[in-house]
Amino acid sequence: MQTQSTNLYDVVIAGAGPVGLFLACELRLAGVSVLVLEQAQDPHSALKQLPFGLRGLSIPTTEAFHRRGLLDEIIAAQSTKSGAIKSAAHWMQQTRRPAGHFAGIQFYQDDFDAAKWSWRLPTPADASVAVDMETLETVLAGRASSLGVEIRRGFGVNAIAVSEDDVTVQAAGETFRGRWLVGCDGGRSTVRKLCGFDFVGTDPEFTGYSIEAELADPEKLNPGRNYTATGMYTYALPGTIALVDFDAGAFHRTAPITIEHVQGVLRRVSCTDVTISELRLAATWTDRARQATTYRKGRVLLAGDAAHTHSPLGGQGLNLGLGDAMNLGWKLAATIGGHAPAKLLDTYSHERHPVGAHILDWSRAQVAIMRPTPGTRALQAIMRDLIETRDGATYFAERVRGVSLRYDLGGRHPLIGRSVPDFEWPDGTMVGERLRQAQGILLDFDARAPLLAFAGRWGDRVAYVAREPRDRLGLSAVLVRPDGFVAWASDGAPNDTEAAEAAARWFGEPTARS
């Protein structure tokens, strides 16, 4: 028997992973009512803990957390596990400080030239952060709860009905209603399937394995990342192993994962006769790369792995999903609040779909140079030579760390569409701190009266800051969206008409400031 909820929520989110929780926090900053439905009763899982739950956060992600006051909390929480994190990550045990990798080809902090990133200023968000999924979810769930988000665990979505005015969701014998529904429920998203989103892309080339085991003869495996004639494996003592078997994904979720099967695959890929004496944990994954053709169908939206899925190579998936949440949250909240431009919500899919497609191709390219063939090994050697050059390492660092992210927002200035530099004022405050409440900002470095009057017409949606920072990067004025991306910029006498047009595009029609 279905039980009908009497509440009508502004937004129902399916999935209480990092993406769903971060999106819920973004919506609550604008006072939107949010219900999060999570299929799993227990948020804890061995695959979210170290070593397999370890993730590196890209710069757009650390910037997002910095702008919402979460970065310090996440760093503090993960610092209690710093020793375990270093042990779990074989690359952290190197003498040089690693900065990332492409298909296992490592590059280091001293390899690339960050001075070429001309639109960046020093910021706390430049911190290199590695965190396990359980810690990240705990921090985000705590923030969501403190903001008034309702989280219901053990409520997997099983039916959806969409009308012109709302969405009805059935989960665990209860019925819930929301004005909007967002599927953040992973690569096998029920929301995506029930609502008929097209999910297109490429089939897998390999089955990947994450293994925690006790080995009878661990000396037979080489620590670190290893390429062999039949595949690739990484090994971190005493028994953490990741490997890829180029079987076209044939074993993924098709049969029980037994010690005999895992040992056979490990021996074949490592080209040794290593013996597993105890299999403590094993999971499989693939390099299947698929993406929804649109992230919105009426009152239903997708974010995170529900919108795009690919191999975990390079750790891009979590960061991509969190970027979706940061982009979507303020736009959906403004739409619900009734002051958004008519097509504002459509810009979510328009902006984030190309970013997702870019990451899927990045993942496919890594798989292409991991194949165990002579031609691939030759290509890999050339790629290694390129990464070891200064320019090559800088290019790969830009891509892996997310520094090159730029939305196509139109406009003539090269800063438009990029993340706003973290301008710092003489008193030590920074732009990132000004974005805590997910509000737009007009930075007027010359304190011009016309811009003050212009800002006043947008009420509380755009904060006006008329101060000169320590380094203005040659700019005179910058209009910043609530997600921290630049909507308009001027390096001369500001064009008030251009500024007003940009503000209207992102913040709707002006209102009188109270």
pLDDT in tens, 257-298: 999 999 999 999 999 999 999 999 999 999 999 999 999 999
Asked if the structure places residue 1 within a domain, the reply is no
On whether both 192 and 68 belong to a single domain, the answer is: yes
Of 31-40, 175-184, 326-335, 371-380, the range with the lowest mean pLDDT is: 371-380
What is the C-alpha separation between 435 and 37, in angstroms, rounded?
28
Q: What is the dihedral of CA 60, 64, 67, 73, to 10 degrees?
A: -110
Question: Global pTM?
Answer: 0.94
Specify the number of domains making up the chain: 3
Residue among 215, 209, 165 at smallest CA distance from 336: 165
User: Could you read off the pLDDT of 331-389 as tens digits, one per residue?
Assistant: 999 999 998 998 999 999 999 999 999 999 999 999 999 999 999 999 999 999 999 99
What CATH number has the domain bearing residue 218? 3.30.70.2450
On whether both 46 and 166 belong to a single domain, the answer is: yes
Asked if the structure places residue 409 within a domain, the reply is no
On whether both 271 and 381 belong to a single domain, the answer is: no
Asked if the structure places residue 361 within a domain, the reply is yes
Relative orientation angle of helices 18-29 and 133-146, to the nearest 10 degrees: 20
Question: 117 exposed, middle or buried (CB, 10 Å; 0-12, 13-18, 19+)?
Answer: middle
Q: What is the average pLDDT score of the chain?
A: 92
The count of other CB atoms within 10 Å of the CB of residue 220 is 15
Asked whether 124 and 432 are in contact (CB, 8 A), the reply is yes
Asked if the structure places residue 493 within a domain, the reply is yes
What CATH number has the domain bearing residue 176? 3.50.50.60
- Widest Cα–Cα separation across the chain: 77
- Vertex 197 angle, CA 192 and 202, to 5°: 95
With cut-offs at 50, 70 and 90, classify the pLDDT of residue 4. low
On whether both 253 and 144 belong to a single domain, the answer is: no
On whether both 45 and 145 belong to a single domain, the answer is: yes
**Encoding tokens for residue 479?**
């209009």
H/E element, 206: none
With cut-offs at 50, 70 and 90, classify the pLDDT of residue 513. very low
Asked if the structure places residue 21 within a domain, the reply is yes
User: Could you read off the pLDDT of 394-409 as tens digits, one per residue?
Assistant: 999 999 999 999 999 9
Residue among 70, 63, 8, 23 at smallest CA distance from 332: 23
* Of the residues 346, 379, 401, the one at which a domain ends: 401
Residue-number span of the structural domain to which 444 is assigned: 431-507
Question: 483 exposed, middle or buried (CB, 10 Å; 0-12, 13-18, 19+)?
Answer: buried
With cut-offs at 50, 70 and 90, classify the pLDDT of residue 448. confident
On whether both 390 and 440 belong to a single domain, the answer is: no
* pLDDT for 447: 83
* Of the residues 226, 261, 286, the one at which a domain ends: 286
H/E element, 180: strand 174-183
Residue 183 has pLDDT above 70, yes or no: yes
Mean pLDDT of 39-48: 91
Residue count of the chain: 514
Backbone angles phi, psi at 142, to 5 degrees: -65, -45
Please tell me what DSSP assigns to residue 196: T
* pLDDT for 514: 36
What is the C-alpha separation between 169 and 190, in angstroms, rounded?
11
Asked if the structure places residue 143 within a domain, the reply is yes
Read out DSSP for 218-275?
GGGS-SEEEE-SSEEEEEETTTEEEEEE-STTTTTTTS---HHHHHHHHHHHHTS---
Dihedral sign (CA 57, 59, 62, 68): negative
Residue 51 has pLDDT above 90, yes or no: no
Mean pLDDT of 440-452: 84
Q: Which position has the higher pLDDT, 81 or 87?
A: 81
On whether both 77 and 191 belong to a single domain, the answer is: yes
Cis upstream peptide for 414 (omega within 30°)? no
Asked if the structure places residue 513 within a domain, the reply is no
Asked whether 356 and 291 are in contact (CB, 8 A), the reply is yes
On whether both 387 and 479 belong to a single domain, the answer is: no
What CATH number has the domain bearing residue 477? 3.40.30.120
Asked if the structure places residue 120 within a domain, the reply is no
In this structure, are strands 3-14 and 34-38 parallel, antiparallel, or unpaired? parallel
| Lateral strand order in the sheet of 240-245 | 224-227, 231-236, 240-245, 207-215, 276-286
Look at the block and give the residue holding tokens 């009878």: 216
Q: How many CA atoms lie within 13 A of 291 on its CB side?
A: 20
On whether both 439 and 471 belong to a single domain, the answer is: yes
Asked whether 425 and 121 are in contact (CB, 8 A), the reply is no
